[in-house]
């Protein structure tokens, strides 16, 4: 048994739940299996071994997992562009907030909310696709892409690979579309860097909001939300300190990220750019 | 070993890949494990045992899996409302195209694209949340909700539970928001019925588009898309016949679903309804 496998075996479900909630009211351990442990163990990886390729067949397996996700009315309104060429990864990295891990990861997947295939189908059959230019169709494509991508992430992590989503690919959607030669009505929704985690870089499960903040019973209501968030702030500050990320809690980060237009890093223009790219969004 | 376990053990990875692609160019078997098999085996379940409850602790485990998914900038812009009361499930079923399985499933999860928590946080700290009223923030919340939900689906299916997403919850967003008492800036993105599959109702893995239709290398391009879709149409028609669903292929269903405004089932009003619900969508 490798050291990693031994460590994984020593982990109890209670440990994983406690880490996931920063020890703030973790639920008692319930059903347990290898899949649930893979899910609970998730951590985003931003340090990859640049020279270690993926296992043979891994990409096709990740995409088969992605294709296995649900899709609204089986419309399958998503695509993915697999980028492995170093020069293209480097250019995409520059477009996506210049994040180094995009260059380091052997594989950069760009997930596309793709209404263009349905548009082409309509054209081939001489049918105007009346439903396409509505916000609903954009929502549907975005959700399809996200469900597919998340299945790929789960598959990747089950193989010991690491991943990180890249929302910054939306900073400059037109330039990204040009780089990937996307047709109109196709948008890079988010990126996903995939590779082998650098074993020298320690990562830890990141605590999330207490369960009762996000889980509502029967109707929406979070009577103790402020107190729960205060406790979460303390847990996240503790996590940050342990991981050399300063002592930042959740609330100040949220206020900075969404409180100011600058936090949107150019994405406040998303609507106008998407319309220029062919989306109706009516 | 139960009959189900024996059947599962007899399945090869090649079988699963072939079923997933309707035998149209399935990729050769690559890496294999229990997680990947759980993902590949997915099928939507619409027939539930109405009287068999979920295992103790299952809901909390699904939500812990959901909370373990990535979230943009750790904003966690999602919530979930767990509906178990029969009367409320029945009312939601009526609002969501009157689908019976919502009443039958012991648990109906409504996943919320939730910007309201960030809005409350801003109010509590006297800070105007400048980034909230933009389409980008809605996109972010929707993707957060979808990643979380998909982790819950994978966890549920690993326990032998069945699930089906319900996009029809977007048919009447304002009425659904009233039923669930959602605050402004919170939208029911999709539902998820969860329960024990009725063992008397046979389900089969549904074929998806050939891998090279959705997977692009380096740049977007699908040179043989028409031919690939024609082969997929044949595979899906065969699947439909085998499963007593007529002999409908993919193309005619797509043309009906997205080709006409009627196929949107009222969702062409989504933008105006969301704005009335407090979303900026700028």
Q: Per the CB < 8 Å rule, is A267 touching B134?
A: yes
The 10s digit of each residue's pLDDT in B160-209 is: 999 999 999 999 999 999 999 999 999 999 999 999 999 999 899 999 99
Interface check A129 vs B, CB under 8 A: yes
In this prediction, residue A121 carries a pLDDT of 97
Put simply, whether A277 touches B (Cβ < 8 Å) is no
Q: What is the mean pLDDT of residues B24-30?
A: 96
pLDDT at residue A246, rounded to an integer:
84
The pLDDT score that the predictor gives to residue B247 is 82
pLDDT tens-digit map of A36-76: 999 999 999 999 998 999 999 999 999 999 999 999 999 99
B147 close contact with A: CB closer than 8 A: yes
Please state whether beta strands B215-217 and A78-83 pair in parallel, antiparallel, or not at all (unpaired): parallel
Domain residue limits, chain A: 13-42, 44-197, 221-282
A36 and B214 in contact by Cβ < 8 A? no
Please state, as a whole number, how many other Cβ atoms lie within 10 Å of the Cβ of residue A200: 7
Mean pLDDT of chain A: 95
Question: Which residue among A78, A208, A271 sits closest to B135, beta carbon to beta carbon?
Answer: A271
Measure the N-to-C terminal CA separation of chain B; round to a whole number of Å. 57
To test the contact with chain B by mutation, choose from A79, A110, A143 the residue with the greatest count of B C-beta atoms within 10 A, namely A143
Residue B10 has pLDDT above 80, yes or no: no
- Which ipTM did the prediction report? 0.97
pLDDT tens by residue, A186-231: 999 999 999 999 999 989 999 999 999 999 999 999 889 999 999 9
B3: pLDDT strictly greater than 70: no
Q: What is the mean pLDDT of residues B80-108?
A: 97
Q: What is the band of B88 on the pLDDT scale with cuts at 50, 70, 90?
A: very high
Classify the phi-psi angles of B83: left when phi > 0, otherwise alpha if psi is within -120 to 50, otherwise beta: beta
CATH of domain B44-197: 3.40.109.10
Structure confidence at residue A202 (pLDDT): 87
pLDDT digits (tens, 9 = 90+) for A86-101: 999 999 999 999 999 9
Residue B136 contacts A, CB cutoff 8 Å: yes
Burial (CB count within 10 angstroms: exposed 0-12, middle 13-18, buried 19+), residue A123:
exposed
Q: What is the mean pLDDT of chain B?
A: 95
Q: Does A181 touch chain B (CB under 8 A)?
A: yes
Looking at the partner chain, which of B27, B55, B181 has a beta carbon nearest the beta carbon of A31?
B55
Residue A154 vs residues B38, B86, B230: alpha-carbon distances, Å: 10, 33, 31
CB contact under 8 A, B120 and A225: yes
How far away is chain B from the Cα of A110, in angstroms, using its nearest Cα? Answer: 10
Under an 8 A CB cutoff, do A75 and B44 touch?
no
What's the confidence (pLDDT) of residue A9? Answer: 57
Is 70 exceeded by the pLDDT of residue A2? Answer: no
């Amino acid at each position: 048994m490798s050291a990693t496998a031994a460590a994984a075996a020593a982990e109890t479900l209670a440990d994983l739940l406690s880490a996931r909630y920063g020890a703030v009211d973790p639920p008692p351990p319930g059903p347990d299996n290898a899949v649930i442990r893979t899910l609970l163990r998730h951590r985003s990886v931003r340090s990859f071994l640049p020279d270690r390729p993926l296992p043979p067949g891994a990409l096709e397996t990740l995409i088969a997992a992605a294709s296995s996700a649900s899709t609204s009315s089986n419309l399958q309104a998503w695509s993915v562009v697999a980028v492995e060429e170093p020069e293209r990864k480097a250019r995409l990295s520059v477009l996506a907030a210049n994040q180094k891990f995009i260059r380091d990861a052997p594989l950069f997947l760009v997930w596309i909310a793709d209404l263009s295939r349905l548009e082409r189908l309509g054209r081939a059959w001489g049918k105007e696709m009346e439903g396409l230019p509505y916000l609903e169709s954009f929502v549907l494509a975005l959700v399809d892409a996200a469900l597919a991508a998340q299945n790929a992430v789960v598959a990747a992590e089950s193989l010991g690979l690491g991943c990180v989503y890249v929302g910054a690919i939306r900073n400059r959607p037109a330039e990204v579309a040009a780089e990937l030669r996307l047709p109109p009505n196709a948008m890079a929704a988010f990126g996903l860097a995939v590779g082998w985690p650098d074993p020298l870089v320690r990562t830890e499960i990141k605590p999330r909001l207490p369960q009762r903040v996000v889980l509502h019973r029967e109707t929406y209501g979070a009577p103790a939300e402020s107190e729960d968030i205060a406790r979460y702030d303390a847990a996240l500050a503790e996590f940050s300190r342990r991981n050399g990320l300063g002592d930042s809690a959740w609330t100040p980060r949220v206020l900075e990220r969404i409180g100011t237009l600058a936090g949107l890093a150019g994405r406040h223009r998303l609507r106008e750019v998407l319309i220029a790219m062919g989306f109706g969004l009516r």
